Amino acid sequence: MTDALTDSTGAEVTVELDEANSSYAIKLGSGEVAGRAHFVPGPDPETERIFYHTVVDKQYGGRGLSKILVAEAMADSRERGYTVVPVCPLFSKWVQEHGDDYVAEGGKFRNATGADLEAVEKRS
């Protein structure tokens, strides 16, 4: 993922895939996890990720961390060849704002189905 990320205060942050927890974690320079974007595999688990919940600790609110987290999770999913299914409102908003560019860069996404929502309920 992208190196040298900074939040709105200028503090360095990183975003890492945490496969054990089925999430992407945004970390502060100290290594502390400030937030996560959670996903479950889609109906085709080898090629789809359903992003269903994104959270940033309240103490870090207002720093733009959720925007960084979503953008980096989307970029990494694109690079790994996953189709993104945005159930989380933050991911849905990102797709509405950046979906055309995402597809032009080789990314794939689709709208959620009832089966996707059931998968989230079972796995979360």
pTM score of the predicted model = 0.93
Q: What is the pLDDT of residues 18-49, one digit of tens each?
A: 999 999 999 999 999 999 999 999 888 899 99
**Domains of the chain by start residue, with CATH:** 5-122 (3.40.630.30)
Contacts of 105 (CB under 8 A, 6+ apart): 78
What is the rounded CA–CA span in Å between residue 81 and residue 60? 31
- Give the whole-angstrom CA distance, residue 34 versus residue 52: 18
pLDDT in tens, 68-77: 999 999 999 9
Categorize the per-residue pLDDT at 105 as very low, low, confident or very high, splitting at 50, 70 and 90: very high
